[in-house]
Amino acid sequence: MQNEFKFWVHLLDTPGPEALAALQAALAPGIRLTWGRELPENAGYHVLVGGRPERQHLTGSPALRMYVIPFAGMPPKARELLAEFPHIAVHNLHHNASLTAEMAVALLMSAAKFVVPFDQDLRRGDWSRRYRHSPALALEGKTALVLGFGHIGQRVGRACWALGMRVLGLRRHPEKEDGLDYPAEIYGLPALNELLPQTHVLVVTLPATPETEGLVGAAELGSMPPGGVLVNVGRGPIVEQAALYQALETGHLRAAGLDVWYNYPADEPGRKETFPGDYPFHELENLVLSPHRGGGTDETEALRMQALAGLLNAAAAGKPVPNRVDVELGY
């Protein structure tokens, strides 16, 4: 039976029955699929799929030439380990780019319009806020800076443009042609400090790497015009938490919406008793809090399997494989 297969893929994490069936149905003929943290006998897999490999997984097959991380980004331990195996190509999946972009837009609208505090008051029968000066920000005519203008950022930019905003995009390779269907001004990351004084809405969609950690601190937030809005769906540490808390508490930032954080539960009991930062973010009325769920919907796993099958089919056919990761840079 094994000889019928020309291309072997091993999944470190076992998908649920429906997801596994969907993946198997979408794979091209000739692809062998195995799964589990324990390696199969006489392992000869060409592709390994998983988020957090161990050394034996990377050395267990002499035929291994590709490692696929089934989500966007690269866990630090995986990056450190894979750096020792330069012959193994690393690829990401971006199946949830549209979902995460939708969350970014939801957080932007909720933060800019102060939806949550008005909602909470009205649930108590309190209409008082309606008759006071509105803190909401008008978005039309404002400038949005998308920090990380890739799969997610470009979708966020399109939504901002549709709302009548000027769109600025920052990324590592500003010269790359994407065929955007809306106008956007694209710059390299060194232009950040030049553009922040023009920025009313800052949306962070970058991955966490040594280069991006702490990229937005007190100086950067302080150079934004007073009364701006920040949205982070990338990774928490890209924005320094002390600077963010102070900017929100003082009102220099009008509001913010965060789906990524600084502290996460260490175990199951911690899921009910872990505050997301070292500062009392939960006390801020001008902050919308979301527990890192931007890519989660009832369709996420189906989209993941569809994207994974497309990538594996391309690899098996010897075609270009999308979403190559630069292990040194971390994305």
Q: Are residues 20 and 114 in the same domain?
A: no
Q: Are residues 34 and 175 in the same domain?
A: no
Position 331 scores a pLDDT of 79
Q: Does 329 reside within a domain?
A: no
Q: Does 76 reside within a domain?
A: yes
Q: Are residues 110 and 249 in the same domain?
A: yes
Q: What confidence tier does 1 reach under pLDDT thresholds 50, 70, 90?
A: very low
Q: Does 294 reside within a domain?
A: no
Q: Does 259 reside within a domain?
A: yes
Q: Which of the residues 95, 235, 254, 304 is marked catalytic?
A: 235
Q: Are residues 25 and 157 in the same domain?
A: no
pLDDT in tens, 293-327: 999 999 999 999 999 999 999 999 999 999 999 99
Mean pLDDT of 266-295: 96
Q: Does 322 reside within a domain?
A: no
State yes or no: is 220 an active-site residue. Answer: no
Position 3 scores a pLDDT of 47
pLDDT at residue 182 above 50? Answer: yes
Q: Are residues 60 and 75 in the same domain?
A: yes
State yes or no: is 273 an active-site residue. Answer: yes
Q: Does 70 reside within a domain?
A: yes
User: Which CATH number goes with the domain that contains 284?
Assistant: 3.40.50.720
Q: Are strands 66-69 and 89-92 parallel, antiparallel or unpaired?
A: parallel
Domain that holds residue 121: 97-289
Mean pLDDT of 53-82: 93
Q: Which of the residues 175, 177, 273, 283 is marked catalytic?
A: 273
Q: Are residues 232 and 140 in the same domain?
A: yes
pLDDT at residue 284 above 80? Answer: yes
Q: Which of the residues 158, 166, 252, 292 is marked catalytic?
A: 292
Q: Are residues 72 and 175 in the same domain?
A: no
Q: Are residues 81 and 129 in the same domain?
A: no
State yes or no: is 10 an active-site residue. Answer: no
Q: Are residues 114 and 219 in the same domain?
A: yes
- Write down the mean pLDDT value for the chain: 95
How many structural domains is the chain composed of? 2
Q: Are residues 114 and 145 in the same domain?
A: yes
pTM of the full predicted structure?
0.91
Q: Are residues 150 and 283 in the same domain?
A: yes
Identify the weakest region by mean pLDDT among 27-31, 73-77, 231-235, 310-314: 73-77
Mean pLDDT of 129-141: 97
Q: Are residues 202 and 124 in the same domain?
A: yes
